[in-house]
Amino acid sequence: MLALPAMNSKFRCALTLVRQFSPLVVLLALVLIPACSPKKGGDQSAGNTGDYVNGTPLSDRPEGGTSFMSSNVDRHQFQPISFAFDSQVIGSSENGKIQQIASFLQQGRSQIIIAGFTDERGTAEYNRGLGERRAESVREALIASGASAQSIQTVSFGADMPADPSSNEEAWAKNRRAEIGVIK
């Protein structure tokens, strides 16, 4: 081999380091890149535990189930469950309502639809997602209280169909809700 000047000896040293560590770099890339890919089964976050309650998978919900607005749905049997601004967490003041609905479902073969709603603030897409998370939160609470997963459907209307169309704090508080429709 030809004698190379001093500058090339630095290059040779760097080249030797690259040769020594390149298998490690390739191995790390092979391990880390698949970890960044989307998971099968979709997102289970966004304040929602997915289709799981206490680590137990929930059964599939019927697609194309009964419409919440159908004439065979009683939307006035239970009081709405209220939520804080930008939240899907069920407050302790709403636990009595959850227990009442769960007891009703445990008594027979009734089915319900939980509709999630938001106030007008936020984008349509965000509000639709928040409404769904609210409906899912109620569904999970009912299942955790002993209701059958097969008897519960969910839907989100976001900011559509406000309980109070005004634009103030009192109206917004009324609109942040989940309504229960009992299928007749």
Model confidence over 24-39: pLDDT tens digits? 666 656 656 655 554 4
Domain ranges of the chain: 70-183
Cα angle for residues 169, 174, 177 (degrees, 5° grid): 125
Q: What is the pTM of this model?
A: 0.67
CA dist list (Å): 166 to 19, 120, 136? 69, 10, 26
Q: Answer whether 137's CB lies under 8 Å from 48's CB.
A: yes
Contact, 119 vs 162, CB < 8 A? yes
Q: Does residue 81 contact residue 178 with C-beta atoms inside 8 Å?
A: yes
Closest CA to 117 of 48, 175, 172: 175
Select the more confidently predicted residue: 8 or 170. Answer: 170
Give the model's confidence band at 103: pLDDT under 50 very low, under 70 low, under 90 confident, else very high: very high
**Which pLDDT value is given to residue 33?**
61
CATH of domain 70-183: 3.30.1330.60
pLDDT of residue 99: 98
CA distance linking residue 12 with residue 63, whole number of Å? 65
